[in-house]
Amino acid sequence: MPDGLGAPLFEPLFDRVALIGIGLIGSSLAHICRRKGLARRIVAADASKEVRTRVAELGFADEVAPSAAEAVRGADLVVLCAPVGAMGPIAREIGPHLAPGAIVSDVGSVKVSIVEAVAPHLPASVCFIPGHPVAGTEYSGPDAGFAALFHNRWIILTPPADADQKALARLSAFWTAAGANVETMTPEHHDLVLAITSHVPHLIAYNIVGTAADLEAVTQSEVMKFSAGGFRDFTRIASSDPIMWRDIFLNNKDAVLEMLGRFNEDLTALQRMIRRGDGDGLSELFTRTRAIRRGIIAQGQETAEPDFGRRAQEE
């Protein structure tokens, strides 16, 4: 079945791409680099020996390096795909080994804290352009990756004001070739936008599922037995990588707390409507929020299929 990814490029965009951290995003990047011929050589590195062994077994990288420092030697593109909390230590390790002119990027879901953690450890001879592919599933690890993960999804780049424009264009071309749509914004704006579109929804999901887990002992398995579609989708979100999401909340706390404050105000207003029997107010709210869903579908970021938009992973 066609995957919409197009044919391989005739000429690779990079000679050596080093992927540091091989979870869902790192392995998916390796798959699409291989599928589209985006790099002449794909080098993978991970702090876990078990992960490195599995990557070698799966064969989607040309080389599995024993360390991040070894992986980045001679690389003209380095992508940090590790949890947010690990970005600073990785940058400290690889800094002295980066090739002059190399582009360094990342895939973290927060940007201000990553810039603060990574930039001080990078030499002036490299170009640091932070990034965030707004794509993912609830699965993690090297087996979770697939080439179509970024197809028609957004990659947000947050280049510094003095970023080399040729390097930015090259990195943008890389993500476009991977099937993504490219947007640029400041790190601060990114963190505020993602707080409401991703981080707070995950926090709410973790909280609701946690409440249900507490009720489970009282209801004697009825929570699971009579789980409706809405709750099942919350459990899907709440099954995401706990280390990754712990780091996201700790590193984007200001924006998350700001959005949580707004959410609590709106929730109080909703409670008031229910208490007062304000049917018109509820209908107006639900109609307005329904339009958001339709807009997401219209932009191709979701499907209207009755499966909550979940698709089988494409190999």
Q: Which residue has the tokens 């993978």?
A: 44
106 strand-pairing partners: 80
CA nearest to 121, candidates 100, 140, 96? 96
Higher pLDDT, residue 242 or 50 = 50
In a domain, 315, yes or no: no
Please give the average per-residue pLDDT across 17-26, as a whole number.
Answer: 97
Domain shared by 258 and 128, yes or no: no
Q: What rounded mean pLDDT belongs to the chain?
A: 88
Domain shared by 102 and 210, yes or no: no
**Final residue of a structural domain among 185, 213, 244:** 185
In a domain, 179, yes or no: yes
Domain shared by 270 and 179, yes or no: no
What is the percent of the chain where pLDDT is above 90?
A: 63
pLDDT of residue 279: 93
Higher pLDDT, residue 294 or 132 = 132
In a domain, 74, yes or no: yes
Reply yes or no on whether the pLDDT at 119 is more than 90.
yes
**Final residue of a structural domain among 185, 218, 235:** 185
Higher pLDDT, residue 203 or 239 = 203
Give the structural domain span for 214: 189-276
In a domain, 193, yes or no: yes
User: CA-to-CA distance for 129 and 103, rounded, in angstroms?
Assistant: 7
pLDDT of residue 218: 63
Q: The whole model's pTM is what? A: 0.80
Q: Comparing 38-52, 113-127, 299-313, which segment has the lowest mean pLDDT?
A: 299-313
CATH number of the domain where residue 123 is located: 3.40.50.720
In a domain, 313, yes or no: no
**Final residue of a structural domain among 125, 156, 185:** 185
In a domain, 3, yes or no: no
Q: At 295, is the pLDDT very low, low, confident or very high (cuts 50, 70, 90)?
A: confident
Report how many domains make up the chain: 2
Domain shared by 138 and 193, yes or no: no
Higher pLDDT, residue 297 or 76 = 76
Q: At 42, is the pLDDT very low, low, confident or very high (cuts 50, 70, 90)?
A: very high
User: CA-to-CA distance for 298 and 300, rounded, in angstroms?
Assistant: 5
Please give the average per-residue pLDDT across 222-243, as a whole number.
Answer: 77
Angle made by CA atoms 73, 107, 240, in degrees to the nearest 5: 125
Domain shared by 174 and 193, yes or no: no
Q: Are the beta carbons of 81 and 29 closer than 8 angstroms?
A: yes
Domain shared by 130 and 196, yes or no: no
Output the DSSP codes for 165-182.
HHHHHHHHHHHHHTTPEE
The CB-side HSE value for 267 (13 A sphere, CA atoms) comes to: 7
In a domain, 297, yes or no: no
Domain shared by 173 and 195, yes or no: no
Domain shared by 148 and 216, yes or no: no
Domain shared by 217 and 131, yes or no: no
Please give the average per-residue pLDDT across 151-158, as a whole number.
Answer: 96
Q: Let me know how long the chain is.
A: 315
Q: At 175, is the pLDDT very low, low, confident or very high (cuts 50, 70, 90)?
A: very high
Domain shared by 170 and 73, yes or no: yes
Domain shared by 238 and 181, yes or no: no
Give per-residue pLDDT as tens, 66-97: 999 999 999 999 999 999 999 999 999 999 99
CATH number of the domain where residue 261 is located: 1.10.3660.10
In a domain, 70, yes or no: yes
Domain shared by 91 and 158, yes or no: yes
pLDDT of residue 2: 43
